[in-house]
Amino acid sequence: MGCEFTFIHCADLHLGSRCWGSRHDDPALGKRFYESTFASFRKIVDLGLARADFMVISGDIYDELTETPRTRLFFASEMKRFSKPCFIVTGNHDARHSWSESIPYPPNVYQFGASPSKYRVNIRGTPVEVTGISFDGPHTDENLVAKLRGSPGVFTVGVVHCEVGTAGGYAPCSMEDFLGKDIQYWALGHIHKRMVLREAEPAVIYPGNIQGRDISESGEKGCMLVHVDGGNVSAEFVPTQEILWKEVAADITGKATLGELIASVRAEIPSDSIIGLDIVGRGPLNRPIRRDPAGLAERIEEETGCPTTIRKLTCTDDIDLEKLAQGETLASAVVKAGDSFYNMSEEELLDAICCTAPSKDVRMYLEYFAKHGRLHDLVREAQLSAVSRILEGSE
């Protein structure tokens, strides 16, 4: 295993999927959102042409509903442009294909099936092995990792879409399943957060998705550029996102004016990003912000040039909620009621909110918030808003 080579590991491309969470209806921004996954993957192919010997993609190239002729043709064209070997597995979102016969992949693309298989690529006279296994449908509870094994004496990359340490998830497995398999690098997919679960012997890595699609997928996104020298592995993250989602906390504590708050926020905002603003803390700015939170977002957007949306509004007057809950006032009752809802699970909250016939009609929209753990935030925001209005009216 003394050969020196470099490969790209990426996953969860979700080509053509939608972005969520911006209040804007600007057609140009909407087009940029839609094109962002394609732009990110072009950058990955450019990187591979310049620096890599081959590429592995660990599932979810598309969402099932976004594998249109356009998205598949784009991927096939980029693979033809890449021209070097590319090894892919399917995951839970792209296990089924609609256009494989009319838009085939070029011959440099090797797609693993639902049974384990191996390919070898010759790099400057030295064989490198890639082994993998694909989903055979949108969900599997099989341990796919346990089915893979490399070949002794040959550097092997294992490619799989899986969920580590989560019982009952998608292709669940444990860290122990990666050991003793003659596989030196495990190229994982499915989790949209970059995670190095193990650095070496073997390396076990999630690269995350290539482009954040809402504020819950904030931060830099891209691929891993993996360099192997004499069997030693070093993995470098390379950001390729077209749009950077950035969550920024605006703390009103100790600030007397909105100008002070805006100045503190402006210093944390990268240029050319999409901002999700979390308003936190205690102080006199709570009430003016709650009267017009959208106005604050618009002002920050004007000063930074970055589209800005209020994500959370958990600021309060300078009051002690725990102490208030011990009283017998209307505000005390609101605090207690809010806390009782806040202690529910996301699913329990969803059922509690959608318990009437009219509310059942909006359940599908609230499921998005439940899926991203946001219902608790909405309950807290409602609680704090009601308490603020009650206290303001009592003065």
Q: Is 364 exposed, middle or buried (0-12, 13-18, 19+ CB in 10 A)?
A: exposed
Nearest C-alpha neighbor of 8 from the set 43, 37, 38, 35: 43
CA–CA separation, 336 and 195 (whole Å): 39
CA–CA separation, 377 and 196 (whole Å): 29
Asked if 215 and 260 sit in the same domain, the reply is no
Which among 262, 296, 318 is the end of a domain? 318
**pTM for the predicted model, two decimal places:** 0.84
Residue 128: its H or E element: strand 126-132
CA–CA separation, 182 and 148 (whole Å): 10
Q: What are the CA-CA distances from residue 168 to residues 165, 345, 347 (Å)?
A: 10, 18, 17
Asked if 175 and 232 sit in the same domain, the reply is yes
State the total domains in the chain. Answer: 3
Which among 216, 239, 262 is the end of a domain? 239
Q: How far is CA 80 from the centre of its chain?
A: 27
Mind giving me the DSSP string for 30-83?
HHHHHHHHHHHHHHHHHHHHHH-SEEEEES-SB-GGG--HHHHHHHHHHHHHH-
How high is the pLDDT of residue 28? 83
Asked if 285 and 339 sit in the same domain, the reply is no
How high is the pLDDT of residue 57? 98
| pLDDT tens sequence for the chain (395 residues) | 667 999 999 999 999 988 776 666 678 888 888 899 999 999 999 999 999 999 999 999 998 767 889 999 999 999 999 999 999 999 999 888 777 889 999 999 999 999 999 999 999 999 999 999 999 998 899 999 999 999 999 999 999 999 998 777 899 999 999 999 999 999 999 999 999 999 999 999 999 999 999 888 999 999 999 999 988 999 999 999 999 999 999 999 999 999 999 999 999 999 889 999 999 999 999 989 999 999 999 999 999 999 999 988 989 888 788 888 888 999 899 889 988 988 888 888 888 888 887 777 778 778 877 777 778 888 888 888 888 888 876 66
Asked if 100 and 199 sit in the same domain, the reply is yes
Q: Is 57 exposed, middle or buried (0-12, 13-18, 19+ CB in 10 A)?
A: buried
How high is the pLDDT of residue 394? 65
CB 99 within 8 A of CB 88: no
Asked if 122 and 165 sit in the same domain, the reply is yes
Determine the structural domain holding residue 160 and report its residue range.
4-239
How high is the pLDDT of residue 1? 61
Asked if 22 and 156 sit in the same domain, the reply is yes
Which among 185, 208, 239 is the end of a domain? 239
